[in-house]
Structure 1
Amino acid sequence: MKKGVIYGILAYFSWGLLPLYWRLFESMPAWEILAHRIVWSLVFVAILVTAAKRWKQLKSVVPNLKSKAAVLLCSIFISCNWFLFIWAVNNGHVIETSLGYYMNPLISVVFAVIFLKERLSAGQWIAILLAGLGVLIMAIQYGTVPWVAISLAISFALYGLAKKIAGLDVLLSLTWETIIVFPAALGYLFYIQGSGTGTLSNLSGYSLALLLLSGAATALPLFWFAQAAKLLPLSMVGFIQYIAPTTSLLLAIFIFHEPFAEAQLISFSCIWLALIVYSFVTFRKSKVNKMVTNAA
């Protein structure tokens, strides 16, 4: 349990600090950062697979059309999510990214109802309605729908849904996800460098070294998350995951000095209340189910 909590905190705190990391490359276009992230993620994951001696298992992990389609969808959804996040961070929308990842668990629940036919209690529906109210308040304040937050929440929820349906090994499925988009990413980097529009040569040695580490910055939190998920009850992982958007929100307000108006506070308060209600109801439901199982 103790190890699981440490892994969970490491994973979500790392994800929460990512805006600081991507801001180091704000002079670089989001597409170029994404391409580098994909390329160096594959390099780092390949090192992990080699160290674990699991290359022989790579082909067998996607034995049928369903698993191949799921991995392809995972690759598309996570690439879209990464691009949106990088673009948002480097264009002053860190508060919206925070809102998106606060919304993500609740969007995932809605998808579970729609696609996996799961049933919700009255308390869980109330939580989803409160979250919807929070988004509506922010939309009224902005005069437009907070599309960055919603797109981040939906793309990551779709990624989680595809992973759930596939049920594949974490490390090997991540390897396939990066392999699929690697040729496009590498081709794009060669193209922009050849056409003279690439910015890699403009980076200092320090910035270049940090960019090469983007693979580790991507894969390590996923590894820590997988370890936490193995060692902890799902309800506890649910509580720990709010470290990431909370960290990003604090960075946005106190480090990046993004405006946080009264309407945004009301909107976030609705989301926070929704998460408290949902977590409480889910935790109580899990506890009751455990007592019933033990009694049986």
Structure 2
Amino acid sequence: MKLAFFNEIEKAQNVLIVGAGGGFDIFSGLPLYFALRKAGKTVHLANLSFSRIDFCEGERPIPSLLKVTPGTSGPASYFPEVYLSQWLSNRFGETPIYAISQAGARPVQEAYNWLVQTLRPDTLILTDGGTDSLMRGDEASLGTPEEDMASLSAAHCVEGPERKLLVCLGFGIDFFHGICHAHFLENVAALIAEGGYLGTWSVTREMEEFGLYEEACEFVSARMPRQPSIVNSSIISAINGNFGDFHSTKRTAGSTLFINPLMGLYWSFRLENVARRNLYLNDIRDTVAYHELSLAIEKFRAMQQKTRLWTDIPC
């Protein structure tokens, strides 16, 4: 018996994996990247970037997109894409990562359009480190929605790929950002009911793909010691068997964490179903600057007369 996600992926030959939420989100797609490459598929990587790519020197096919290779220049203090490209290139041969500007939904859409028209993927996988990409707008909190929603909007609207999928890795991490995980589970249930859920599976420490993922994260963190990824550090801690208020980085000092085995689960969905259930994608679609994107989301939230009350998960 196969999960529906793997039935979909079996048909894929040319895959584009894109980090949805900025920063290190592309790393949450690395176990999939390694597995798909091992299966003989062509795989490309892109990421909505927190780096100031407008200050970088490199190939820029359109203003909102930078092709990052091992030699691309940029801010040494925060440029995870270039360090990941260096590690991947050392292991597998030159591997570019396309960095998308942190902007409003329209420039992000232009980047997706170029990527799909140029790379011609038959499958687009949007990957989220955490689970706040499933927040539809009426929850108690949306976490940090700007980048996720600009990416979701762009992936939903871009034409070309036969399959569009969304995967989330790191259940429980977004408690750090105020997400109610009962609302996440309620949203998953609604997606199950309408046929948009493709299954859940574990990444375990024995998997070769996990070892490569952990190695890549350690390589990049060593070069960005002040900015290690909280999300990926938490996922790796959980998969290695740590539990509870365990801190692997000083960045989380003073907060309470709940590292747990569910952080190692991939949750997978049909992207179109997630996008259709979102209540405010149309409100952000024409935003250009990042502050316009934030303002559009704030306006939407201010107009909501009622949001779902916070609910604790029974235990």
User: Structure 2 length normalisation: TM-score?
Assistant: 0.27
The structure with the largest helix share of the pair is: 1
Which structure exhibits the higher relative contact order, with contacts defined as CA atoms closer than 8 Å and separated by 6 or more residues? 1
Which structure has the larger Rg?
A: 1
User: Structure 1 length normalisation: TM-score?
Assistant: 0.28
The structure with the largest strand share of the pair is: 2
